[in-house]
Amino acid sequence: MISNLSFVAECRPCTKEEMIHAYCSSELVTRGIIQRVEPIEDTDVSDIVVKVTKTLRRWPSTWDTNEIEEASPGKEIVQVGRHCGAQHGAGEIVIMARRKLGQLVLRCAPRLQEWQDVIKEAIAKDSAHCVL
């Protein structure tokens, strides 16, 4: 049973510290634009289809395509709880995702400008856990 607290935590925006941790530990970090959000039938999950503008990290670089549905070139698919109400819109975002049960699951998705501000602040404070 998942608590209401888990539902809220899954959907809320990441703090600056969470963004840095997610960037340093995610298996996929990419800049892109959300093209569409597709609810997956008979589940409580939605697929977010992202048009990639720049891949920052994809680890490992050669995933077994049997484990993760391969998106079209220049696209990535990440999942998020349907209850989060993810929507597509204008503007570039930074997608940070981890594999869970063979699928990429969204951890953080700040707007590009917000992420650039977080990077500048972390570098100035020397508080990053990895090279940003």
CATH of the domain at 95: 2.40.50.120
Q: What contacts 115, CB < 8 A, 6 or more positions away? A: 19, 94
pLDDT reported for residue 62: 55
Examine residue 90 and state whether it is found in any structural domain, yes or no: yes
| Residue 59 structural domain | 13-125
Q: Give the per-residue pLDDT at 72.
A: 67
At 51 the pLDDT is: 96
In a domain, 3, yes or no: no
> Would you say residue 89 lies in a domain?
yes
Predicted TM-score of the model (pTM): 0.84
Least Cα distance to 110 among 89, 130, 126, 96 occurs for: 96
Residue 61 per-residue DSSP state: S
Structural domain count of the chain: 1
Q: Is 131 a member of any domain?
A: no
In this structure, the strands spanning 28-39 and 93-100 are antiparallel
- On whether residue 71 sits in a domain, the answer given is yes
Residue 28 lies in a domain: yes
Tokens encoding 24: 């340093």
Please report whether residue 88 resides in a domain: yes
Residue 39 lies in a domain: yes
Per-residue pLDDT tens digits of the chain, which is 132 residues long: 444 445 557 789 999 999 999 999 999 999 999 999 999 999 999 999 999 999 999 887 555 543 444 556 799 999 999 999 998 888 999 999 999 988 999 999 999 999 999 999 999 999 888 988
Q: What Cα–Cα distance (Å) separates residue 115 from each residue in 11, 45, 47, 111?
A: 18, 25, 23, 6
90 SS3 class? coil
What is the model's pLDDT at position 84?
Answer: 93
- H helices of the chain, where? 4-11, 16-25, 112-125
CA 58, 61, 64: angle at the middle one, nearest 5?
110
